[in-house]
Structure 1
Amino acid sequence: MNAAILGALAEPHRLHIVELLVREPLTVGEIAARLDLRQPQASKHVRVLVDAGVVEVEAVANRRICHLRAEPFRELDGWLAAYRQLWEARFDRLDEYLDQTSAPRPSPEGEQP
Protein backbone atom coordinates (compact mmCIF):
# COMPACT_ATOMS: atom_id res chain seq x y z
CA MET A 1 0.00 0.00 0.00
CA ASN A 2 1.35 3.39 -0.98
CA ALA A 3 1.46 5.51 2.17
CA ALA A 4 1.49 8.68 0.02
CA ILE A 5 -2.10 7.95 -0.97
CA LEU A 6 -3.25 7.75 2.64
CA GLY A 7 -1.21 10.82 3.53
CA ALA A 8 -2.75 12.81 0.70
CA LEU A 9 -6.28 11.75 1.64
CA ALA A 10 -5.75 12.44 5.35
CA GLU A 11 -6.05 16.21 4.90
CA PRO A 12 -9.73 17.29 4.94
CA HIS A 13 -9.55 19.69 1.97
CA ARG A 14 -7.89 17.06 -0.20
CA LEU A 15 -10.46 14.48 0.81
CA HIS A 16 -13.20 16.95 -0.14
CA ILE A 17 -11.52 17.51 -3.49
CA VAL A 18 -11.59 13.76 -4.12
CA GLU A 19 -15.26 13.65 -3.13
CA LEU A 20 -16.00 16.42 -5.63
CA LEU A 21 -14.04 14.71 -8.38
CA VAL A 22 -15.92 11.44 -7.86
CA ARG A 23 -18.97 13.20 -9.30
CA GLU A 24 -17.28 14.94 -12.22
CA PRO A 25 -13.98 16.35 -13.47
CA LEU A 26 -13.43 19.96 -12.37
CA THR A 27 -10.99 22.77 -13.00
CA VAL A 28 -8.85 24.05 -10.16
CA GLY A 29 -10.95 27.25 -10.17
CA GLU A 30 -14.16 25.25 -9.79
CA ILE A 31 -12.63 23.27 -6.94
CA ALA A 32 -11.54 26.48 -5.22
CA ALA A 33 -15.01 28.00 -5.59
CA ARG A 34 -16.84 24.93 -4.30
CA LEU A 35 -14.58 24.56 -1.27
CA ASP A 36 -14.38 28.30 -0.61
CA LEU A 37 -10.60 28.30 -1.02
CA ARG A 38 -8.29 30.70 -2.76
CA GLN A 39 -7.02 29.35 -6.07
CA PRO A 40 -3.38 29.04 -4.88
CA GLN A 41 -4.55 26.94 -1.92
CA ALA A 42 -6.62 24.70 -4.18
CA SER A 43 -3.67 24.36 -6.57
CA LYS A 44 -1.38 23.24 -3.73
CA HIS A 45 -3.88 20.61 -2.60
CA VAL A 46 -4.33 19.39 -6.17
CA ARG A 47 -0.54 19.20 -6.55
CA VAL A 48 -0.29 16.92 -3.48
CA LEU A 49 -3.02 14.69 -4.93
CA VAL A 50 -1.21 14.60 -8.28
CA ASP A 51 2.10 13.74 -6.60
CA ALA A 52 0.37 10.89 -4.72
CA GLY A 53 -1.02 9.62 -8.03
CA VAL A 54 -4.65 10.12 -7.02
CA VAL A 55 -5.47 12.91 -9.49
CA GLU A 56 -4.31 13.69 -12.99
CA VAL A 57 -4.56 17.12 -14.57
CA GLU A 58 -5.37 17.55 -18.22
CA ALA A 59 -4.49 20.79 -19.98
CA VAL A 60 -7.30 21.99 -22.25
CA ALA A 61 -6.48 25.40 -23.72
CA ASN A 62 -5.85 27.62 -20.69
CA ARG A 63 -7.80 25.40 -18.29
CA ARG A 64 -6.49 22.59 -16.09
CA ILE A 65 -9.10 19.90 -15.66
CA CYS A 66 -8.67 17.52 -12.72
CA HIS A 67 -9.70 13.85 -12.99
CA LEU A 68 -9.50 11.05 -10.44
CA ARG A 69 -7.30 8.11 -11.31
CA ALA A 70 -8.85 4.70 -10.63
CA GLU A 71 -5.63 2.77 -9.94
CA PRO A 72 -4.86 4.22 -6.48
CA PHE A 73 -8.39 3.45 -5.32
CA ARG A 74 -8.13 -0.13 -6.60
CA GLU A 75 -4.87 -0.43 -4.66
CA LEU A 76 -6.53 0.99 -1.55
CA ASP A 77 -9.50 -1.38 -1.96
CA GLY A 78 -7.13 -4.34 -2.30
CA TRP A 79 -5.28 -3.32 0.84
CA LEU A 80 -8.54 -2.95 2.75
CA ALA A 81 -9.83 -6.34 1.55
CA ALA A 82 -7.75 -8.23 4.13
CA TYR A 83 -9.19 -6.09 6.92
CA ARG A 84 -12.69 -6.47 5.52
CA GLN A 85 -12.31 -10.27 5.60
CA LEU A 86 -11.02 -10.13 9.17
CA TRP A 87 -13.98 -8.08 10.38
CA GLU A 88 -16.52 -10.13 8.43
CA ALA A 89 -15.18 -13.30 10.09
CA ARG A 90 -15.41 -11.64 13.50
CA PHE A 91 -18.98 -10.48 12.84
CA ASP A 92 -19.90 -13.99 11.70
CA ARG A 93 -18.56 -15.40 14.98
CA LEU A 94 -20.47 -12.74 16.90
CA ASP A 95 -23.67 -13.67 15.06
CA GLU A 96 -23.13 -17.33 15.96
CA TYR A 97 -22.50 -16.44 19.59
CA LEU A 98 -25.61 -14.26 19.78
CA ASP A 99 -27.69 -17.01 18.17
CA GLN A 100 -26.43 -19.47 20.78
CA THR A 101 -27.04 -17.18 23.74
CA SER A 102 -30.50 -16.14 22.61
CA ALA A 103 -31.73 -19.68 21.91
CA PRO A 104 -34.40 -20.83 24.37
CA ARG A 105 -32.91 -22.95 27.12
CA PRO A 106 -34.63 -26.12 28.17
CA SER A 107 -36.09 -25.86 31.63
CA PRO A 108 -34.92 -28.30 34.29
CA GLU A 109 -37.13 -31.38 34.58
CA GLY A 110 -40.06 -31.04 36.82
CA GLU A 111 -40.25 -27.25 36.73
CA GLN A 112 -43.29 -25.63 35.31
CA PRO A 113 -43.14 -22.33 33.51
Structure 2
Amino acid sequence: MSASVDRILAALADPHRRRAVELLGERPRRAGELASALDLPAPALSRHLRLLKASGLVEERHPEFDARVRIYALKDGAMADLKQWVARTETMWTAQLSAFKAHVEKEDR
Protein backbone atom coordinates (compact mmCIF):
# COMPACT_ATOMS: atom_id res chain seq x y z
CA MET A 1 0.00 0.00 0.00
CA SER A 2 2.84 2.45 0.67
CA ALA A 3 3.89 2.47 -3.01
CA SER A 4 0.37 3.53 -3.95
CA VAL A 5 0.34 6.27 -1.32
CA ASP A 6 3.80 7.43 -2.46
CA ARG A 7 2.60 7.70 -6.09
CA ILE A 8 -0.52 9.61 -5.09
CA LEU A 9 1.34 12.04 -2.82
CA ALA A 10 3.98 12.61 -5.51
CA ALA A 11 1.25 13.35 -8.04
CA LEU A 12 -0.50 15.74 -5.66
CA ALA A 13 2.74 17.55 -4.77
CA ASP A 14 2.33 19.88 -7.75
CA PRO A 15 -0.26 22.70 -7.42
CA HIS A 16 -1.36 22.36 -11.08
CA ARG A 17 -2.08 18.66 -10.60
CA ARG A 18 -3.95 19.32 -7.35
CA ARG A 19 -6.08 21.92 -9.14
CA ALA A 20 -6.68 19.49 -12.02
CA VAL A 21 -7.91 16.90 -9.50
CA GLU A 22 -10.21 19.52 -7.96
CA LEU A 23 -11.63 20.41 -11.38
CA LEU A 24 -12.09 16.75 -12.28
CA GLY A 25 -13.83 16.25 -8.95
CA GLU A 26 -16.54 18.59 -10.22
CA ARG A 27 -17.00 16.67 -13.49
CA PRO A 28 -15.05 14.94 -16.27
CA ARG A 29 -13.38 17.33 -18.71
CA ARG A 30 -11.56 17.46 -22.02
CA ALA A 31 -7.83 18.13 -22.00
CA GLY A 32 -8.30 21.51 -23.70
CA GLU A 33 -10.80 22.55 -21.08
CA LEU A 34 -8.36 21.63 -18.31
CA ALA A 35 -5.48 23.43 -20.04
CA SER A 36 -7.58 26.56 -20.31
CA ALA A 37 -8.76 26.41 -16.70
CA LEU A 38 -5.20 25.84 -15.46
CA ASP A 39 -3.70 28.40 -17.86
CA LEU A 40 -1.19 25.81 -19.12
CA PRO A 41 0.03 25.06 -22.63
CA ALA A 42 -1.09 21.69 -24.01
CA PRO A 43 2.34 19.99 -23.71
CA ALA A 44 2.63 20.96 -20.03
CA LEU A 45 -0.88 19.73 -19.29
CA SER A 46 -0.14 16.50 -21.14
CA ARG A 47 2.81 15.83 -18.81
CA HIS A 48 0.65 16.51 -15.76
CA LEU A 49 -2.14 14.25 -17.01
CA ARG A 50 0.35 11.48 -17.79
CA LEU A 51 1.59 11.59 -14.21
CA LEU A 52 -1.94 11.69 -12.78
CA LYS A 53 -2.85 8.64 -14.89
CA ALA A 54 0.32 6.81 -13.81
CA SER A 55 -0.52 7.50 -10.16
CA GLY A 56 -3.93 5.90 -10.66
CA LEU A 57 -5.89 9.05 -9.82
CA VAL A 58 -7.18 9.88 -13.30
CA GLU A 59 -8.50 7.83 -16.18
CA GLU A 60 -8.90 8.69 -19.83
CA ARG A 61 -12.08 7.90 -21.73
CA HIS A 62 -13.06 8.15 -25.36
CA PRO A 63 -16.71 8.97 -26.07
CA GLU A 64 -18.50 6.69 -28.51
CA PHE A 65 -19.24 9.57 -30.90
CA ASP A 66 -15.56 10.40 -31.53
CA ALA A 67 -12.61 8.22 -30.54
CA ARG A 68 -10.21 11.14 -31.08
CA VAL A 69 -11.71 13.05 -28.15
CA ARG A 70 -10.21 12.36 -24.75
CA ILE A 71 -12.22 12.94 -21.62
CA TYR A 72 -10.42 12.82 -18.28
CA ALA A 73 -12.13 11.84 -15.04
CA LEU A 74 -11.17 10.88 -11.51
CA LYS A 75 -10.86 7.16 -11.06
CA ASP A 76 -13.38 5.68 -8.61
CA GLY A 77 -11.74 4.65 -5.37
CA ALA A 78 -8.36 5.99 -6.42
CA MET A 79 -7.72 7.65 -3.08
CA ALA A 80 -8.82 4.74 -0.88
CA ASP A 81 -5.25 3.82 0.11
CA LEU A 82 -4.43 7.46 0.86
CA LYS A 83 -7.59 7.84 2.97
CA GLN A 84 -6.68 4.72 4.97
CA TRP A 85 -3.14 5.99 5.50
CA VAL A 86 -4.40 9.40 6.67
CA ALA A 87 -6.92 7.78 9.03
CA ARG A 88 -4.23 5.52 10.57
CA THR A 89 -1.81 8.42 10.87
CA GLU A 90 -4.45 10.63 12.47
CA THR A 91 -5.29 7.88 14.97
CA MET A 92 -1.62 7.49 15.85
CA TRP A 93 -1.13 11.24 16.34
CA THR A 94 -4.28 11.53 18.41
CA ALA A 95 -3.04 8.77 20.70
CA GLN A 96 0.43 10.36 20.92
CA LEU A 97 -0.97 13.80 21.73
CA SER A 98 -3.37 12.39 24.31
CA ALA A 99 -0.52 10.56 26.01
CA PHE A 100 1.58 13.74 25.96
CA LYS A 101 -1.29 15.75 27.42
CA ALA A 102 -1.78 13.19 30.20
CA HIS A 103 1.95 13.30 30.94
CA VAL A 104 2.03 17.12 31.13
CA GLU A 105 -1.08 17.25 33.31
CA LYS A 106 0.44 14.64 35.64
CA GLU A 107 3.63 16.72 35.91
CA ASP A 108 1.60 19.85 36.81
CA ARG A 109 0.08 18.21 39.90
For 2:19 and 2:27, the matched residues in 1 are separated by 13
Stretches of structure 1 that go unaligned for 5 or more consecutive residues are 102-113
Stretches of structure 2 that go unaligned for 5 or more consecutive residues are none
Q: TM-score, normalised by structure 2?
A: 0.78
For 1:25 and 1:97, the matched residues in 2 are separated by 50
Q: CA RMSD in A?
A: 2.2
Distance 1:7 1:37, change over 3 A: same
* Code of the aligned partner of 1:78: Q
For 1:24 and 1:94, the matched residues in 2 are separated by 44
1:8 maps to 2:11? yes
1:21 maps to 2:24? yes
* Code of the aligned partner of 1:29: G
1:41 maps to 2:44? yes
For 2:26 and 2:103, the matched residues in 1 are separated by 42
For 2:101 and 2:75, the matched residues in 1 are separated by 38
* Code of the aligned partner of 2:44: Q
* Code of the aligned partner of 2:91: Q
* Code of the aligned partner of 2:90: R
Higher RCO, 1 vs 2 (CA within 8 Å, ≥6 residues apart): 2
For 1:58 and 1:37, the matched residues in 2 are separated by 21
Task: State how 1:52-91 maps to structure 2 within 5 Å.
Answer: 52-60=55-63, 61=66, 62-91=68-97
For 2:47 and 2:24, the matched residues in 1 are separated by 16
How many residues of Structure 1 are paired with residues of Structure 2 in the alignment? 102
Same amino acid, percent of matched pairs: 35
Q: CA deviation at 1:84?
A: 0.9
Q: Which residue of 2 aligns with 1:105?
A: none
